[in-house]
Structures are given as structure tokens and as C-alpha cells.
Amino acid sequence: MKMNKIFVACDTVNISKVKEIIKKTQNNKIKVGYKFGLEFLNSKYGRNFLLKLRNKTTFVDLKLHDIPNTCISTIKAIKDLRPDYLTIHISSGLNALKVCKKNSGKTKLTGVTILTSLNNKALKEIGFNKQLEKLVYHQAKLAKKANLDAIVCSPQEVKIVKKVFNKEIITPGIRLSSNNNDQKRVLTPKQAYKNGSDWLVIGRPITKGNIKKNILSLIDHLS
């Protein structure tokens, strides 16, 4: 039976807390990797911690969004961290995606579609006239054209992405309850896997409160 896979979002700069998260999420029921963002990488001890972290699946969520040369320079600058996954905004453009993929080595270059904090109203406010689903579909086609290794999208758009992209799909916006916080397009873990997600990104529902109990609740939810 295929094992469910999650990335636990380590959204803190507290190294002791990160160590606690890693220790308390170890289990033999689901595969667990760890997501680290720009805040952690730029923190006092973050980079050194990642440099020493071994035998764990790491997802460095930098969401690169710049001119091609700057994106390439960033990829080269973190190559020593050997991340398994690294994110880039698909809206960086096809040329940036292609040259970054060429320079990403063994790291799986992962294209970010539309952030889960946005909805159609928010997209219209920043100048996008296309409906959200059409934008995601178009971006998935670009990701395929650039030969990216994975895509990040809302669990609600997984089926749309899978129409044109047949590699890994990573989905944030996962909630065990109706408390959505700052995210607009969310689903439960069971719903996300049913839609075809390969990896789920889960932060506060696991890291807030009793971590071991939260992991067990997730496993129970999926059983």
C-alpha cells in the first residue's frame, strides 16, 4: 500500500522547536519531510542547521521570483544545503524556469502556482483578469514545458493540474478543521489525497500544541 507523505512546515526560527518537531513527528505510518522557508534560512542559526541536517527529506520553500540570473545565483548559493525540493514561482516566466531547472542538479525544482492565501477577488485586485482555475491550468502547462519536477498548488486545483502535469504535486492549504486562518483555498488531508496530491504541507495543525497527539490525529483521520 502506498504510504501517505507530508511535509511539516517548520515556520519558526527557534532551533529547539524545530528539533522538537522533527523528533516528535517520527513514525512508521506516514512519510514525513520538513519544509523550511526564507525566514528560517535567513535566521541566525537556520542555514547552519540545514547544512547539518541529514537523512531527512527537505523542502526549501524560497519561492524564487526574480530575473533568471538572480534565480540561478540563489540556486548556486544554497547548493551546499542539498535540498530535496526548492520552489520557484511559475510566474517568473518560462525562460527563468528552464535555466533554473538546468542549474538545479539533483534538487527537484518545484513550481509554485497561485498562493493559497489568494482567491479570485484578490487576483483581480492585483491585475489578473483570468479566473483562478484558468491561471493555474496555464501555469501547469508552463511547468510541464520547462520540465519542472513538481508543482505546488492548492488541493482544490490538483485535478486541474493533473490534466497537463504528470509529476509530483505538493499541496499546502491543509486543515483538519474548519479554521482556515489566512488561507482561502483549503481541504482536509483525506480530501487532498483523494484529489491526487502526492505530498501535503501541514504546519500549525501539527506544530501547534501537542505534536505527537496531532500526528496521531492525522494518522487516524487518514485511516
Assessment of whether the complete model's pTM goes beyond 0.85: yes
Q: Is 63 a catalytic residue?
A: yes
pLDDT in tens, 41-57: 999 999 999 999 989 99
Mean pLDDT of the chain: 92
Question: Whole-angstrom Cα distance, residue 17 to residue 1?
Answer: 32
pLDDT in tens, 141-196: 999 999 999 999 999 899 999 999 999 999 998 887 655 555 556 789 999 999 99
Helix ranges (H only) for 57-147 are: 68-77, 94-102, 120-125, 132-145
Query: At 100, is the pLDDT very low, low, confident or very high (cuts 50, 70, 90)?
Result: very high
Question: Whole-angstrom Cα distance, residue 18 to residue 9?
Answer: 10
| Domains of the chain with bracketed CATH | 5-222 (3.20.20.70)
Among 5, 31, 63, 144, which one carries the catalytic annotation? 63
Query: At 115, is the pLDDT very low, low, confident or very high (cuts 50, 70, 90)?
Result: confident
